[in-house]
Structure 1
Amino acid sequence: MASIPFTLAALSTSAVPGLVVFGVREHESDDSFVSAIVATEDDELLVRVPRTHQAEVQQSAELLGLAALTEGPRSRLPFAAPTTLGMTRAGETRAVVTSFLDGARFEADELTDDSHLLQPIAEAIAAIHELPLTVAQHGGLPVRSAQDLRVLATRLVDRADATRLLPETVRRRWTHVLETSDLWDFSPTMVHGSLDAELIRVGDGAVTAVLGWSECSVGDPATDLAWLLAGGPEVLDGVIARYARARNSESLSHLRARAALYHELEVARWLLHGTETHDQAVIDDAVTMLDRMVGTGGALGAAFTAAVAAAPLSSEEVIALLDQTPQVEDAQSDTAAFEALDEDRMFGVDTDFIEPLTEDADGDPSPAADDTADQVTAPLSDDDLPRDLTR
């Protein structure tokens, strides 16, 4: 086991031509990857090798997201995002080297409605949502309409209901939100897509780095706010109020209601993960969480009530409502367009980041000539790792 960091250090020199390693240490952050921190003369780098096929797909998606964040978009963000420096083959998979961004960490449930972090968090999220849509369009990232996102959420509820483990009360609440057309009349923005406290680094009262860009796309801005409900409705409301001052956005009550829905739908995803992997412990955990939702509307119930309440509208909201003519498509449509939408993540473009680099005649890393984005690499087992990695 002690040889793993040194093997990863060797792989990093193959991935980044001219790299001189001054030291290496273990890095434990995700069991899905074998990883280490490599010290250079001026900086520290992170080298990771996926252990499983699922981790490899996630890594491919993150590489695509980071590639889309070119110098222009990065200059508009008030925090740093990792930079991909190189990659090389490691057994049947690949080793990827990125910049290493460290900082203080926090848990979402540690936040309170008067936490000083609420302002920098709101500003960081608003900055992501203010990025131009061309970041995704030119970078080959998913671009989904509001109705596409509504259909995907509906399908997730249908899949959870098909397990026969979803309480009827919860299913009706979710369906009611999905069938309320006004909540889904919004303009999609650039989103991080999988934002959580675990992926945020802070220092000196500011957000210094955001990691994990595997779900970066054009999507629902509410998805980047849902995780805040782990700190309670007051935390979400506090961030949304500050977020609204940072950018012009839609009806805040509608944004809050969809964020609450996405927060609850994470339990549906957890249930489906358990049933698909036949993990009874995960299934039991998800069922327990769903049972707690029965008989109480929770954050979603309160947010939905506020969103549909007959409160006076501002002049801007009245004009917006008059201009809107929602067209709700059948959530059960079997057209090719909707069948092509993957509930978790889809990639429909070729990219050099999907497959490992090979070496050219000069020994420098270069993309394989016949690589395509639809190639599938087998899961990484201990037998597949370089000999030193299994010691």
Structure 2
Amino acid sequence: MARSSLTLAALATAAVAGLDVVSTTPISTGLTGRFDSALLTARGGEQLIIRVPTSQEAETEQSGDLVALRALTTGSRGRLPFRAPEFRGQAPVGQTRGHVYDFIPGAPASLESLDHSVELAESFGLAIAAVHSLPTSVITDAGLPVFSASESVRAATSVKDRAASTGRVPVDLLTRWSLALDDSALWQFQPAVIHGSLGPESFLISGERVTGILDWSNLKVGDPASDLYWLSSVTREESATRVFSGYNVGRAGPVDRQLRKRARLYAELEIAKWLVHGSDLRDAAIVDDAVGMLNGLASTAQADLVNPLSSDTGRVLAVDEVEAMLSQTPRREPVNARDHANAARISDDD
């Protein structure tokens, strides 16, 4: 059951010494979101946000968010052209804890926001570039994860292999992904500080600029392209190009000329992850959804031969070669009615 505004206000008062809340505005409830949250207005006009996780997954995310936000020192925050949330206090509630942060003005962004203006699209790129330009000591000093270029390609290869093991990925896509993953030139990048969970919903915007970025729980050192894959979903190609343009202007160091291709690869592998997720759950609806998207992607890729993912297409594997490769990969048994029932039970438990 969702917690009332009065409960959240009392919890915030316990979390932040001297806080005098005069009004609260609910933001979400446990019925529609992963957090019970509210905007708090304190006497004197200061505004804060309180969030209480409604699931174990949300609690884990909030704990990771707190660690990351504490890693962003005053000096590193001063390098950013936007605000990241600042933790103000916490208080126990039931089996979890409520966290209080300062409020960052701005409206939640969407993919359509990128079409609003050239300036706003470029502001997205500048904001992402500022994160990637932070010194990696921000991460290492906090003991947060660090992934090398070789570890990044191994992780991507693992996703491709797991998807291939389902036997549901079009051969042309496996060829396309394998060529990209085997292309050493594509993976010659300098790992950087990355947000790790970026999507349009991570941004707060006002007018022509990004005012804040939220959800820092996956902060790490890794492949900068993994923070940009979501741009492949932008309807207008020129909007995505403007984001990359702003990114290249704001990014410290040499331009990564393979950045956009790796971002595209990560976007395609997100569908592969969805297929693996459905296969692991033996959820036919998820599997069918993923297969439909993969078939559509395969058709698009075939029609766009001038834009391969790899920097050098190399020798294209013949169909019988790819089929031979797939025959060496164990496939899952067909899903039966009992498996469907178990998947439904798991979903209900979640």
Residue in 2 that maps onto 1:375: none
SS in 2 for 1:296: helix
Letter in 2 for 1:194: S
Conserved? CA contact 1:229–1:235, under 8 Å: no
Deviation per CA, 1:324-349: give whole Å up to 9, x if none.
Answer: xxxxxxxxxxxxxxxxxxxxxxxxxx
Residue in 2 that maps onto 1:85: 88
Counterpart CA distance in 2 for 1:300 and 1:261 is: 14
Residue in 1 that maps onto 2:39: 37
Tell me: CA distance 1:50–1:272, structure 2 relative to 1, closer, same or farther (3 Å): farther
Residue in 2 that maps onto 1:7: 7
Conserved? CA contact 2:2–2:36, under 8 Å: no
Deviation per CA, 1:311-330: give whole Å up to 9, x if none.
Answer: xxxxxxxxxxxxxxxxxxxx
Tell me: CA distance 1:278–1:48, structure 2 relative to 1, closer, same or farther (3 Å): farther
SS in 2 for 1:117: helix
Alignment coverage as a number of residue pairs = 311
For structure 1, the residue ranges without an aligned partner over 5 or more in a row are 311-380, 382-391
Which of 120, 123, 128 is matched with 1:120 structurally?
123
Deviation at 1:236, TM superposition (A): 2.9
SS in 2 for 1:35: strand
Of stretches 234-243 and 204-213 in structure 1, the one that deviates more from structure 2 is: 234-243
Deviation per CA, 1:9-36: give whole Å up to 9, x if none.
Answer: 2111222222211111211286111222
| Residue 293 of structure 1 pairs with residue 297 of structure 2 | yes
Of stretches 143-152 and 90-99 in structure 1, the one that deviates more from structure 2 is: 90-99
Deviation at 1:113, TM superposition (A): 10
Tell me: CA distance 1:309–1:169, structure 2 relative to 1, closer, same or farther (3 Å): closer
Tell me: CA distance 1:204–1:156, structure 2 relative to 1, closer, same or farther (3 Å): same
SS in 1 for 2:308: helix
Tell me: CA distance 1:279–1:18, structure 2 relative to 1, closer, same or farther (3 Å): farther
Deviation per CA, 1:116-140: give whole Å up to 9, x if none.
Answer: 3122112111111110000000112
Deviation per CA, 1:345-365: give whole Å up to 9, x if none.
Answer: xxxxxxxxxxxxxxxxxxxxx
Conserved? CA contact 1:257–1:300, under 8 Å: no
Tell me: CA distance 1:252–1:304, structure 2 relative to 1, closer, same or farther (3 Å): farther
Letter in 1 for 2:293: M
Q: Which 4+ runs in 1 deviate beyond 4 A?
A: 248-252, 298-303
Deviation at 1:298, TM superposition (A): 7.3
Deviation at 1:114, TM superposition (A): 6.3
Tell me: CA distance 1:307–1:239, structure 2 relative to 1, closer, same or farther (3 Å): farther
Deviation at 1:43, TM superposition (A): 1.9
Counterpart CA distance in 2 for 1:114 and 1:101 is: 22
- Higher helix proportion (structure 1 or 2): 2
| Residue 241 of structure 1 pairs with residue 250 of structure 2 | no
| Residue 202 of structure 1 pairs with residue 208 of structure 2 | no
Of stretches 92-101 and 66-75 in structure 1, the one that deviates more from structure 2 is: 92-101
Letter in 1 for 2:301: G
For structure 2, the residue ranges without an aligned partner over 5 or more in a row are 315-348
Deviation at 1:268, TM superposition (A): 1.9
Tell me: CA distance 1:170–1:305, structure 2 relative to 1, closer, same or farther (3 Å): closer
Deviation per CA, 1:284-333: give whole Å up to 9, x if none.
Answer: 322221111123317996553683389xxxxxxxxxxxxxxxxxxxxxxx
Deviation at 1:109, TM superposition (A): 4.2
SS in 2 for 1:194: coil
Identity in percent: 40
Tell me: CA distance 1:295–1:28, structure 2 relative to 1, closer, same or farther (3 Å): same
Counterpart CA distance in 1 for 2:271 and 2:230 is: 12
Counterpart CA distance in 1 for 2:309 and 2:174 is: 17
Counterpart CA distance in 2 for 1:150 and 1:23 is: 50
Deviation at 1:221, TM superposition (A): 0.9
| Residue 129 of structure 1 pairs with residue 111 of structure 2 | no
SS in 1 for 2:51: strand
SS in 2 for 1:27: strand
RMSD: 2.6
Conserved? CA contact 2:108–2:203, under 8 Å: yes
Deviation at 1:111, TM superposition (A): 2.9
| Residue 269 of structure 1 pairs with residue 264 of structure 2 | no
Tell me: CA distance 1:13–1:112, structure 2 relative to 1, closer, same or farther (3 Å): closer
Residue in 1 that maps onto 2:337: none
Normalising by structure 2, what TM-score? 0.81
SS in 2 for 1:82: coil
Residue in 1 that maps onto 2:321: none
Letter in 2 for 1:295: S
Letter in 2 for 1:179: D
Letter in 1 for 2:47: E
Residue in 2 that maps onto 1:162: 165
Counterpart CA distance in 1 for 2:111 and 2:286 is: 22
Conserved? CA contact 2:185–2:311, under 8 Å: no
Letter in 1 for 2:9: A
Counterpart CA distance in 2 for 1:284 and 1:297 is: 20
Higher relative contact order (CA 8 A, sep 6+): 1
Letter in 2 for 1:33: F
Deviation at 1:98, TM superposition (A): 1.3
SS in 1 for 2:217: coil
Counterpart CA distance in 2 for 1:300 and 1:200 is: 31
Normalising by structure 1, what TM-score? 0.73
